[in-house]
């Protein structure tokens, strides 16, 4: 038999105990008013259940689950995915305690699903304990969380994996392969001739080229392989479950052929090539740091031998040689004293971090100082860009944002991955950023200052 919901004023009045008559009357009035708002609400979804069945639902609850009028008597569990019911039932048993919201998948009357957050409490009426349910559709929140998770592990320009995702996959493969005879390869890739495209045609054209290159790289590998962009024109590819060197060599040849095909931007036809360094597990190392470094050394050899080719790592690098710390000298100076001094200090901080990690010493305070000083340095460059009305300011600031986000996400405690990620920052962050975006800014500043001096004389 379907039970009717009692008048909310009756429930409100039954909760008032003790105190003087005026106090009771005031509390009754307040409780009745609050209960009426909840019951009539079109926003807060409220239901009462007894013995697992709906006793009462308000308008918002009916709309949330697409229920028809007269839903009383419906089993509450039929509104949820069966696999979620055990967790919801457990939360119901703790409804009288202070507990966290319960997450579940709701099922609407039309059969569609949605992400649901449930809160439970107990209501006593005429000696019977009822369960009050507050329900909220959190589908948008879940989708936003999923998007943020995707962004955290993806390169925003190309949609490829980023360094964090590749590091995670490499760590998993190392754990899986370490006690087996399986092999895998790490390929370090660097585009040849990309910087002139960026300089001549602008970053929009350069970004288009990088996107097309990313698509071509993915088209050349298997679904089980991982293609990652490490920033700029540098990529990394992980090839698990390969039989021998011939397999990795064939992949490298396929990648080189795909990249060097002309790229039509709609306005221009671009041509770039790629140099590749290859390292094999366990031939060239059994740790991430060694494999990354071996592939990088092979990549530099391919560059020196004429580019547009691949090169194999020769011998395993001694463990003591990884990491190699950053060497900072006059060749990196830009001619802007303020920038040069801060770059030199960043180099010192990064070297301090590398040494601390290498020697298994505390490093948290060093990393915190790197983040603090990097923010200060970027603010300095921001001020200099404003002072000279720098045309590339928007792109430069975006690079700063991405770099600072990468630093904040750096996890040097991550066992195998810690030192390899630090090495990448030593190489990509400081050296590449200084030699690329910062040198362009410095040249603009120097030209502006020369023009000012010429006018004054």
Peptide bond into 282 cis (omega under 30): yes
DSSP 178: T
110 neighbors 67 (Cβ within 8 angstroms)? no
**Dihedral sign for Cα atoms in the order 297, 299, 305, 310:** positive
258: left (phi over 0), alpha (psi -120 to 50) or beta: alpha
399 neighbors 429 (Cβ within 8 angstroms)? no
Contacts 24+ apart (CB under 8 A), 202-210: 203/392, 203/395, 205/265, 205/267, 205/268, 205/270, 207/157, 208/263, 208/265, 209/263, 209/265, 209/270, 209/272, 210/157, 210/158
Distance CA 185, CA 277 (A): 10
- Burial code (b: 16+ CB inside 10 Å, e: under 16) for 298-313 equals bbebbbeeeebbbbbb
10: left (phi over 0), alpha (psi -120 to 50) or beta: alpha
Distance CA 402, CA 436 (A): 15
Q: In sequence order, what DSSP letters do the residues of 179-245 get, joined into one string?
A: TSS-EEEEEEEEEESHHHHHHHH-HHHHHHHHHHHHHHHHHTS-TTSEEEEEETTEEEEEEEEE-SH
Distance CA 270, CA 78 (A): 59
Q: Extract the tokens encoding 25.
A: 């009357």
DSSP 82: G
DSSP 162: -
Is 233 a catalytic site residue?
A: yes
Question: Around Cβ 57, how many Cβ atoms within 10 Å?
Answer: 26
Which position among 84, 233, 406, 440 bears the catalytic label?
Answer: 233
Q: Extract the tokens encoding 360.
A: 């298994």
Q: Which residues have C-beta within 8 Å of that of residue 171, sequence separation ≥ 6? A: 288, 414, 415, 416, 417
**Dihedral sign for Cα atoms in the order 80, 82, 84, 89:** positive
Distance CA 27, CA 42 (A): 25
Catalytic residues: 233
């Amino acid at each position: 038999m379907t039970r009717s919901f009692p008048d909310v004023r009756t429930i409100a009045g039954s909760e008032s105990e003790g105190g003087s008559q005026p106090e009771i009357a005031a509390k009754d009035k307040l409780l009745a008013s609050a209960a009426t708002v909840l019951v009539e609400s079109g926003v807060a979804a409220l239901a009462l259940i007894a013995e697992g069945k709906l006793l009462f639902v308000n308008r918002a609850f009916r709309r949330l689950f697409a229920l028809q009028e007269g839903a009383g008597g419906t089993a509450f569990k039929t509104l949820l995915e069966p696999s979620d019911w055990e967790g919801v039932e457990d939360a119901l048993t703790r409804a009288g305690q202070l507990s966290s919201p319960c997450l579940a998948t709701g099922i609407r009357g039309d059969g569609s699903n949605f992400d649901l957050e449930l809160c439970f409490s107990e209501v006593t009426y005429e000696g019977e304990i009822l369960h009050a349910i507050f329900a909220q559709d959190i589908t948008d929140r879940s989708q936003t969380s999923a998007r943020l998770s995707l962004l955290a592990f993806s390169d925003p320009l190309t949609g490829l994996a980023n360094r964090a995702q590749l590091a995670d996959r490499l760590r998993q493969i190392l754990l899986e392969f370490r006690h087996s005879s399986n092999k895998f390869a790490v390929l370090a890739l660097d585009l040849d001739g990309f910087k002139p495209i960026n300089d001549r045609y602008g970053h929009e054209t350069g970004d288009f080229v990088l996107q097309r290159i990313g698509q071509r790289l993915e088209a050349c590998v298997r679904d089980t392989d991982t293609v990652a962009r490490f920033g700029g024109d540098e990529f990394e590819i992980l090839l698990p479950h390969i039989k021998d060197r011939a397999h990795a060599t064939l992949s490298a040849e396929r990648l080189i052929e795909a990249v060097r095909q002309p790229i039509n931007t709609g306005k221009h036809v671009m041509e770039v090539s790629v140099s590749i360094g290859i390292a094999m597990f366990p031939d060239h190392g059994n740790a991430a740091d060694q494999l990354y470094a071996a592939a990088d050394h092979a990549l530099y050899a391919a560059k020196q031998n004429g580019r547009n080719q691949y090169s194999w790592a020769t011998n395993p690098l001694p463990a003591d040689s990884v990491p190699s710390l950053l060497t900072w000298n006059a060749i990196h100076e830009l001619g802007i004293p303020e920038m040069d001094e801060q770059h030199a200090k960043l180099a010192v901080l990064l070297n301090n971090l590398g040494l601390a990690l290498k020697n298994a010493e505390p490093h948290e305070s060093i990393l915190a100082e790197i983040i603090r000083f990097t923010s200060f340095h970027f603010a300095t460059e921001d001020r200099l860009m404003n002072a000279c009305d720098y045309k590339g300011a928007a792109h430069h600031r975006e690079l700063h944002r991405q770099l600072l986000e990468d630093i904040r996400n750096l996890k040097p405690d991550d066992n195998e991955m810690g030192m390899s990620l630090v090495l990448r920052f030593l190489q990509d962050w400081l050296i590449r950023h200084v030699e690329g975006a910062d040198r362009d800014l410095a040249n603009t500043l120097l030209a502006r200052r020369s023009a000012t001096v010429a006018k004054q004389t």
